[in-house]
Amino acid sequence: MRGSLRTVRGARGALALITAGALALTAAGCDDGDGGGKRGSAPAPGASSDVIPHTVRLPKLNGRKLKVTAVWTGAEQKGFTKVLEEFSRRTGAEVAFVPSGDDMSSFVGSKVAGGDPPDVAMLQQPGVLREFARKGWLKPLGDEATAELAKNFTKGWQDLGSYEGKRYGVYFKVSNKSLVWYNTKVFGGAGAQEPRTWGEFLDTARLIADYGIPPLSVAGADGWTLTDWFENVYLSQAGPEKYDQLARHRIPWTDPSVKDALARLGQLFGGKGLLADGNDGAIQTQFPTSVTQTFSGGEEPKAAMVFEGDFAAANILATRAEIGKDAKVFPFPAVGAKSPVVTGGDVGVALKDGPAAQALLTFLSSADAARVWAAEGGFLSANKNLDPAAYPNDVLRSIAKALVSAGDDFRFDMSDLAPASFGGKPGQGEWKHLQDFLKNPGDVAGTQRKLESDAAKAFKS
């Protein structure tokens, strides 16, 4: 999953409601008409799609072909495929999923240049949506999709999918990316408690290191995870006003507030024995591995904690660890006055005209589509009409309630708001320079200069 962020005030209180134990879901019956059957609890994972309530009417599209692209692989691709299968079952459309790879911007650009773009793309960055809309590649939402979006999402999420007053996108999958997941067995053995502040977090890490297990698993091979680390530290320490200024490049990356955030992050990345496999190993660790090595390995997991969003739950479940028992979560520790909560998301847009693409975006705007993936785990929705019972356990349910209850009081992932050349491409911009910082956490000034040089170029283009 690629990141995206926003500040959700009051989330610590909501997250404090997290309780142990995954709860089974109860299937709810409904009729099979497009006009909407009974609304009730979501089906259990693996249940027939016939029990999914219909709250949105979709057209019959028998024989129409639809290509959909997204960066998702593994468990995320599996979850999204179930959504597409439900759409196909209801409409008769033939849907093909086309993996884009990490560089969605380049992938779509090459397809547009070749005259054969996908019908629908799931973009990770609002900056990419604006870029595509500015180039004339996107088709505005039709009346049905716009109405369904307005019914189920707050104005803030609608505006994020807009450009120059026109609605283009549906934020189907979102994330709370201010979470730290931990192995309860390691915490118990080390006598560690959930930290609330950055100082307590470092003390907890050192305690676990002394216990004999590296405290933290870092996915340095995926540059997007490092932008998430920086943004959480920066938002909490510098505050939302500075965050907004840096996100728009109204202040430079050489600003003292960036120096302070990198120095704090360097305390962790440069701490002796704090990273699984050390800095050299962390830079080669991909996100799925960073999660699974924290919750697998029998008596000796490779780390005690891993930072990332709610979507890490899918990787945790793949290890057969039980969320709420073997794996628990706490909010990102407060570096400044309060903990940050940053969220992001994947936005569906149409690159071709036609009823099939518009029907899929209408479906993705509905609670019906969100319910399909929510039952699988590893998914979070900003859809205010999705019944929280759709989520498979209390942990995800509490995270989802915190996000939805925030309304429009949020901040989005800074790197995703930036031009793709700076905030969203492997091997360049933020991803590259923060990877270099992970290798050499003492080079704060050099990292700032490189970030500012690339940001200045990207925001001028």
**Residues 133-156: pLDDT tens digits?**
999 999 999 999 999 999 999 998
The span from the CA of 382 to the CA of 219, in Å, is: 26
Residue 45 lies in a domain: no
Residue 317 lies in a domain: yes
Among 217, 211, 191, 225, smallest CA distance to 294 is for 217
Whether residue 69 has pLDDT greater than 90? yes
> 421 and 458 in contact (C-beta within 8 Å)?
yes
Residue 420 lies in a domain: no
Amino acid at 294: T
Q: Answer yes or no: do 315 and 448 share one domain.
A: yes
Q: Answer yes or no: do 205 and 323 share one domain.
A: yes
- pLDDT for 407: 77
Residue 397 structure tokens: 């349910």
Residue 40 lies in a domain: no
> 413 and 177 in contact (C-beta within 8 Å)?
yes
- What would the pLDDT profile of 344-389 be if each residue is shown by its tens digit? 899 999 999 999 999 999 999 999 999 999 998 879 999 999 999 9
Residue 310 lies in a domain: yes
The span from the CA of 128 to the CA of 45, in Å, is: 33
Q: Answer yes or no: do 183 and 325 share one domain.
A: yes
| Residues forming beta bridges with residue 22, ordered by sequence position | 393
The pTM of the full predicted model, rounded to 2 decimals, is: 0.74
- The DSSP bridge pattern shows strands 166-167 and 94-99 to be unpaired
If you average pLDDT over every residue of the chain, what do you get? 87
Rg, the chain, Cα only? 21
Write the CB contacts of 222 (distance below 8 Å, at least 6 apart in sequence).
Answer: 286, 287
Domain that holds residue 368: 11-16+54-176+344-405
Among 284, 332, 285, smallest CA distance to 182 is for 332
The span from the CA of 249 to the CA of 256, in Å, is: 14
Going by pLDDT thresholds of 50, 70 and 90, the confidence category of residue 52 is low
Q: Answer yes or no: do 123 and 147 share one domain.
A: yes
Q: Answer yes or no: do 371 and 322 share one domain.
A: no
Q: What percent of the chain has pLDDT over 90?
A: 70
The span from the CA of 331 to the CA of 263, in Å, is: 21
- pLDDT for 342: 86
Count of domains for the chain = 2
Q: Answer yes or no: do 282 and 235 share one domain.
A: yes
Other residues' Cβ atoms within 10 Å of the Cβ of residue 459? 14
Cα 433 off chain centre by: 21
Q: Answer yes or no: do 383 and 440 share one domain.
A: no
The span from the CA of 299 to the CA of 304, in Å, is: 12
- pLDDT for 329: 93
Whether residue 21 has pLDDT greater than 50? no
Report the CATH number that the domain containing residue 234 is assigned in CATH.
Answer: 3.40.190.10
Q: Answer yes or no: do 151 and 253 share one domain.
A: no
Q: Answer yes or no: do 221 and 357 share one domain.
A: no
Q: Answer yes or no: do 356 and 331 share one domain.
A: no
Q: Answer yes or no: do 189 and 276 share one domain.
A: yes
Residue 204 lies in a domain: yes
Residue 227 lies in a domain: yes
Name the residue with tokens 């998430």.
Answer: 228
End-to-end Cα, the chain, rounded Å:
27
Q: Answer yes or no: do 330 and 224 share one domain.
A: yes
Residue 413 lies in a domain: no
